[in-house]
Amino acid sequence: MKFPPALLDEIRARVRVSAVIGRRVQWDRRKSVPARGDFWACCPFHNEKTPSFHADDRKGRYYCFGCRQAGDIFTFLVEKEGLSFPEAVERLAQEAGVPLPKSSAGDEEREARRASLYDVMEMAAAFFEAELQSARGSRARGYLSDRGLSASVQQIFRLGYAPDDRQALRSHLAQKNVTLEQMIEAGLLVAGEDIPVAYDRFRDRVMFPIRDMRGKVIAFGGRALASEAQPKYLNSPETPLFHKGRVLYNLDQARAAAHETSTIIVVEGYMDVIAMARAGFRNCVAPLGTALTEDQLSILWRMAAEPILCFDGDSAGVKALHRALDLALPMLKPGQSLRFALMPLGQDPDDLLKSEGQAAIKTVIDAAEPMIEMLWRRALQTNDRSTPERQAQFERALEEEVQRIGDPKVKQYYAADVRRRVASLFGTGEARRWRPRLPGMMRKVQPGARLRGRGWSAPKPWEVAEPPSLELKAHARKTQSRQAAERREKAILLALVNHPQLLDDFAESFAELDFLAPELDRLKREIIDIAALEASLDAASLRTYLDRKGFGPLLEQLDVDFRRLREWFVLPDAAASDVRTGFRQMVVLHRKTVTLVRELTLAEAALAEHPTDENLKLLNEIREQMRSAAGEEALIDGFGEDSGRPQGPVA
């Protein structure tokens, strides 16, 4: 049986690759970061002791850096469990709650008809684009110009214009041999028993093509140009291609940016998405004129662990955020939540961009609050707390909200947080305990000064702002250590970009490293991604790929910095043997000073929570690795000779 691509996409959107593979492997707790959708394990396809198998929930893919096995949820069941492809689809569809189409003699005919509808929608999109540039589209071009949308922005989003003519699109498609039935099925015409002649659904509107995750046009949204036209925004009806509760506007273009930034932003409408893109936020999507649905939330969580909902600050925007809060509560999981941001009252992203610029939008996004804050604020705003009885009702209402959370661990932490907040609000329990001020918050009191109360007295110990010299020194050491680690991260990345052949031997150890700088970590992930796709890489093709992904300025700065610092062994002209020696030393040192420190912290916490022999053994293994002399700054015999350089340490 042939399965429609849209059906397979829907199953992939609902079933995480980590959930499928996690039934056959034990995820490595030290390397995996569930909040980012990153999971590591020993490969289920070949025997190994060090985890080199990587699953990425955001991409829905897995890859082994050892045996090069790769695929998605269907591939895994086929190759690991021996299922046929139809059996894998049937099992995962049942798990996802997606009904499979009933097999019949007309299946292939229906799929062919569906495929032809994609062609019809593409023809319609091209027609609207051409009309925007024609004489009839002058008013629409003026509207877009007034909104600050340049020609390049119009091309990126494939904006168009539907002429004020009841038969314009119908006549155009008929000339291309598109049948009337196809136009109606695609939602492009309005038809019915009481309508003698079917006519164009969209007229005198700026057109926004709506695309699926593969970039195929599946529907349209139209913004009326006439002020009296209703509704102002009109979407395509439900069709075999388009189900508005399962689609997000601009998702096809936002996916890559969401992966790069590890976040995705949800705004209210088409123009908001475009305004955010103009402000530099390419990781933006929007629902299609309705409240968010469970399917849309599931898609968002595949893109990022904590999507940001950014709506207008008016009552409608606040209500939309509250509806999303209610929808998300039962779906919360460890590391899977939402954040909320509100635009200033009376402004949408386009207004804010025009009045205050990109920095103002960034400020709004950076101030996004977690779900617990939104839950708490709503409770404060909607409950009277003027009497003890009403205070009790306020607390009970919050407890009932928390009980809606499905995951027991998340529910436990929410309940604890709510108890602390209630205690602080009403002045009860542990929130009333005195806590000394931090040194930076203490007021300075001069010796001999009169303090409040009777008579004279010496200042209390906590009232004197003594400089915490030991803390400052520890902070300085920590800062220096972080700076050294980030410099080493830069050197490791530049060495790989200039000498991609290092990945042949060091791909696994490189992928295991923890990078502290977010921008450098994103560059590292891009290199891993391209290495997974390309069997062999040269420096020129790797740089071209990274430049297309927006890393060109960063690479240029790294080149300048390391030539200025005379770190010759990471540069393109260094001998291969010296590059390998220096790279190996940097990787080992970075693992010891950064990755192992993080693993030690996690292992100590695991042992404290679960004092088992296994956790104790793991802790001792990490300590032994940290005691090892390997990776310390050292002078390596012969290092630099092949490149004609003097010997020197590798840090």
pLDDT (0 to 100) of residue 438: 38
| Residue 533, pLDDT score | 67
pLDDT at 428: 59
**pLDDT of the residue at 346:** 82
pLDDT surpassing 50 at residue 374: yes
Specify the pLDDT at position 446. 45
pLDDT score for 66: 83
Task: Indicate the SS3 state at residue 567.
Answer: coil
Quick check: 411 pLDDT over 50?
yes
From residue 539, alpha-carbon distances to 129, 542, 558, 579 in Å are 39, 5, 15, 14
Q: At what angle do helices 349-356 and 270-278 cross, to 10 degrees?
A: 30
Judge whether residue 642 has pLDDT over 70. Answer: no
Residue 44 and residue 53 in contact, taking contact as beta carbons nearer than 8 Å: yes
Torsion of CA 276, 277, 281, 287, to 10 degrees: 60
- pLDDT at 634 (0 to 100): 39
Residues 6+ apart with CB under 8 A from 213: 9, 13, 251, 252, 255
Residue-level pLDDT at 641: 54
Q: What pLDDT is attached to residue 470?
A: 45
pLDDT band at residue 103, thresholds of 50, 70 and 90? Answer: low
Q: Across residues 121-150, what is the average pLDDT?
A: 96
Least confident of 32-46, 247-261, 288-302, 582-596: 582-596
Least confident of 46-60, 134-148, 300-314, 579-593: 579-593
Residues 595-598: contacts with CB within 8 Å, 24+ apart? 595/512, 595/513, 595/514, 596/622, 596/625, 596/626, 597/626, 598/30, 598/514
DSSP class of 595: I
**Highest mean pLDDT: which of 54-63, 159-168, 450-459?**
159-168
Please tell me the predicted confidence (pLDDT) of residue 465. Answer: 41
- Bridge partners for 53 per DSSP: 41, 64
How do residues 574-626 score in pLDDT, each as one tens digit? 888 888 888 888 887 777 776 666 667 777 777 776 777 777 777 777 777 66
| Distance in angstroms (rounded) separating the CA atoms of residues 185 and 178 | 11
Return the pLDDT at 578.
80
Q: Per residue in 307-322, pLDDT tens?
A: 999 998 888 889 999 9
Q: What is the pLDDT of residue 261?
A: 82
What are phi and psi for residue 410, nearest 5 degrees?
-65, -40
pLDDT at 54: 94
Residue 437 has pLDDT above 70, yes or no: no
Residue 195: per-residue pLDDT: 92
Nearest partner of 219 among 248, 197, 254, judged by Cα: 248
Instruction: Give per-residue pLDDT as tens, 448-460.
Output: 444 344 343 444 4
Calculate the CA 420 to chain-centre distance. 30
Mean pLDDT to the nearest integer, 126-155: 95
pLDDT of residue 47: 82
* pLDDT confidence bin for 435, thresholds 50/70/90: very low
Joined tokens for residue 412: 């436990």
The larger pLDDT score, comparing residue 517 to residue 113, is at: 517
Quick one: average pLDDT of 483-512? 84
Q: In sequence order, which residues have a C-beta less than 8 Å from that of residue 615 and are 6 or more positions away?
A: 603, 606, 607
CB 210 within 8 A of CB 217: yes
Percent of the chain residues past pLDDT 70, beyond the cut: 82
* Predicted pLDDT at 134: 96
- pLDDT, tens digit (0-9, with 9 covering 90-100), for 285-299: 999 877 899 999 999
Least confident range of 5-9, 131-135, 347-351, 443-447: 443-447
Least confident of 45-49, 247-251, 366-370: 45-49
Give the range among 63-67, 217-221, 309-313, 642-646 with minimum mean pLDDT.
642-646
Residue 623 has a pLDDT of 74
- Give the closest residue to 146 by CA, choosing from 223, 93, 228, 41: 223
pLDDT value, residue 76: 92
Tell me the mean pLDDT in the region 104-118: 66
User: What's residue 530's pLDDT?
Assistant: 80
Residues 450-472 have a mean pLDDT of 42
Which amino acid is it at 230? Q
Residue 418 token pair = 């709510």
Tell me the average pLDDT across 418-439.
62
What the block records as the tokens of 484 is 């050294």
- pLDDT greater at residue 533 or residue 337: 337
Average pLDDT, whole number, for the chain? 82
Which tokens hold the place of 482? 């972080």
450 or 284: which carries more pLDDT confidence? 284
User: pLDDT higher for 103 or 584?
Assistant: 584
Reference 100, options 12, 214, 11, 15; nearest CA is 11
Q: Is pLDDT above 60 for 647?
A: no
What distance lies between CA 264 and its chain's CA centroid? 5
Strand-pair partners of 265: 284, 308
Question: Is it the case that residue 417 has pLDDT exceeding 90?
Answer: yes
Say yes or no to pLDDT of 464 above 70: no
CB 302 within 8 A of CB 13: yes
Who wins on pLDDT, 512 or 437?
512
Token digits of residue 121: 């929608």
Amino acid at 364: V
Helix ranges, 499-612 (H): 503-512, 518-533, 539-548, 552-564, 576-590, 596-609
CA distances from 512 to 335, 473, 499, 593, 594 (A): 21, 31, 19, 13, 11
